[in-house]
Amino acid sequence: MVINYKKCPKCSSKNAIPIVYGLPSPELFEKAEAGKVKLGGCCVGENDPEIYCKDCEYEWDKEQAVDIAYQKIKGIKAFVGGYFGASYLVEIDLASRKVNWIHWEEGKQIATYQKTITIKTAESFIDQLKSAKLLEWKFKYEAPNVCDGTGWSVEIIREGRNLVKSGSNAFPNEWDAFCSIIGKVVNRKFK
């Protein structure tokens, strides 16, 4: 959803076109002449690139674009909680590897915890976020007709613009997996 497959991973140009494989039809030839597609040839391989940058001639596929999008994550700021009961905030900064955790009960701060995670943990954290499909979550999850309950937000700190995903009483499918990833990194409760 936020992964822009058509942005060149090498030069950041958006002047990119799809690469089409197989024997081209006359229409496809015309499109190729007009610079709207690139002909990839007749033979279709297993790891063929799917997108071609017209500015720098780099070629890539969607999987590579997904990896690059996750590598751009510099940190996470996650909150979960309700007006009643427990709330948690976790901040993870991957550059300094500093992790900050705050716990509230009934709106009152009752515990904080800080730690520095290892380089290995920071690296595997990105892979885990990818397995939780964080970048593919919708921006808003809402359950109608519930006034109080559980709210959450995840701010994704990136190079450039940050992204905020949030919800109230409704969650992405990977929410439990995400909470256990966060809980493990900080070694404290998050949920």
Structure tokens at 45: 């391989």
Closer by beta carbon to Zn ion, 15 or else 121: 15
d(CA 50, CA 38): 9
Instruction: Quote the DSSP letter at residue 136.
Output: G
Closer by beta carbon to Zn ion, 32 or else 56: 56
Residue 52: CB minimum distance to Zn ion, A: 9
Closer by beta carbon to Zn ion, 8 or else 80: 8
What strand order describes the sheet that includes 16-21? 38-41, 16-21, 51-53, 59-60
d(CA 36, CA 16): 9
Residue 51: CB minimum distance to Zn ion, A: 10
Residue 93: CB minimum distance to Zn ion, A: 30
Residue 15: CB minimum distance to Zn ion, A: 8
Please report how the helices 62-71 and 119-131 are oriented relative to each other, as an axis angle in degrees rounded to 10: 130
Binding site for Zn ion (CB under 5 A): 8, 10-11, 13, 53, 55-56, 58
Closer by beta carbon to Zn ion, 22 or else 35: 35
Structure tokens at 176: 């439990």
By three-state DSSP, how is residue 26 classified? helix
Residue 109: CB minimum distance to Zn ion, A: 48
Instruction: Quote the DSSP letter at residue 25.
Output: P
Closer by beta carbon to Zn ion, 21 or else 58: 58
